Amino acid sequence: MASTKSAYRLATNALGRFPLLPVALKAAVAAALAWIVVQPLHGAADDYSYYAPLGAVVAVSSRLAQSMRASVETILAIGLGACLALGARAAPVPEVLSIGLVVGVGTLVGAWKRVGSMASWVPIPALFILIVGGSDPAPYVLSYLGLTALGAAVGVVVNVVAPPLPLVATEHVQDALREVLADQLDGLADGLERDPLPTTDEWQTGVTRLQQRNQRAQELMGQTLDTPRMNWRVRRRREATERQRRQGEALTHLTFLVQEMMTLLSHAEHADRSLVALGPELRPSAARAFRKSAAALRSVEASVADEKALDEALRAADELALAIRRQQDDQSGETFAAGGLVTAIRRVLASVTPEELASLGR
């Protein structure tokens, strides 16, 4: 029994690492079910039954809370396209002009916000209806709309029965984002140890990768936090979901803080600037604080840093603050920007400090 549970857990984790696999499986099941459902209908369904799987795939590929909305938007887009095609068919103009009109006007209509995410579909059904529907497009229009709607309903049911819950994938993406944040802090330390200093653009190296990781984490969290009333898997895993939500908020805040430090250094500590924020005296302490903070981030487990790594990072931040105060006493330069770095580093460390220690003002 234990080996069965272990094998199930391994399989779940393997699937969780690749969140597209469950989506692909659900899409395949939904499409097959939609095809089976329309077979007994006969009539127009025999000629255009492939529209049912199409509607199912559209619905099941969306988040649970968006399945019904995506289905309605799809039907709306097809309906608008049908109106355009029927209008063009009735107009006394050459066929080539009709095609150009439905595509051009359909693209403009697709910009209507009420059509939502399926706006780009409007000219596609208009073309199908105009070309495939022939001289009597009404039966084709009804089949197109009806079968797509039926398939979308099947997709919604499949999504309700097996709603998305990418906890494992979200965990891996969050871990990867934290690693990128640590890499960025190490990169800032490397930059401070360079001679000459990095240029403004060089300080910003890696910001695109950081933003992409953060965006992906946000997308997966959006699926995990889908409407609990509809997503029974969220209700069953509420504690894990809530933990990931808090972790996601912390990582978003961390991303902002690291980007803030990168921006500060790129504007106030670069090779093209004569009056810099840190200067030769403060750079070693700042570099050490960055490296220790990176180590603290890499030590995080269950959203909390290792106590030893956290202690070392906090001491490094305190040493940087002390060096800044000494420089202020010597009146040897402007230290406002340097103080901003200390504040940002401490906020980074506060986000991975255990609550019981944070309550003691550590």
**Where are the chain's structural domains?**
20-161, 168-358
pTM of the model: 0.57
pLDDT attached to residue 288 = 92
Interhelix angle 279-298/167-192, nearest 10 degrees: 160
**Distance between CA atoms of residues 47 and 189, nearest Å:** 66
CATH topology (fold) of 168-358: Methane Monooxygenase Hydroxylase; Chain G, domain 1 (1.20.58)
pLDDT at 74: 81
**Gap between the Cα atoms of 85 and 81, Å rounded:** 6
Predicted local confidence at residue 226, as pLDDT: 53
Q: What is the number of other CB atoms lying within 10 angstroms of the CB of residue 54?
A: 18
The residues pairing with 301 across neighbouring beta strands, listed in sequence order, are: 304
Question: Can you state the angle between helices 123-132 and 64-90, rounded to 10 degrees?
Answer: 50
* The pLDDT value given to residue 5: 45
Distance CA 293, CA 9 (A): 33
Structure token digits, residue 293:
């903070």
Q: Which of 39, 16, 37 is nearest to 167 (CA)?
A: 16
Mean pLDDT by 10 residues, the chain (362 residues): 50 57 81 89 77 85 65 82 84 82 82 69 82 76 86 84 65 77 85 80 72 72 55 58 69 79 74 61 87 89 82 91 79 66 85 60 48
Residue 81: the pLDDT is: 84
Q: How many Cβ atoms from other residues are within 10 Å of residue 100's Cβ?
A: 13
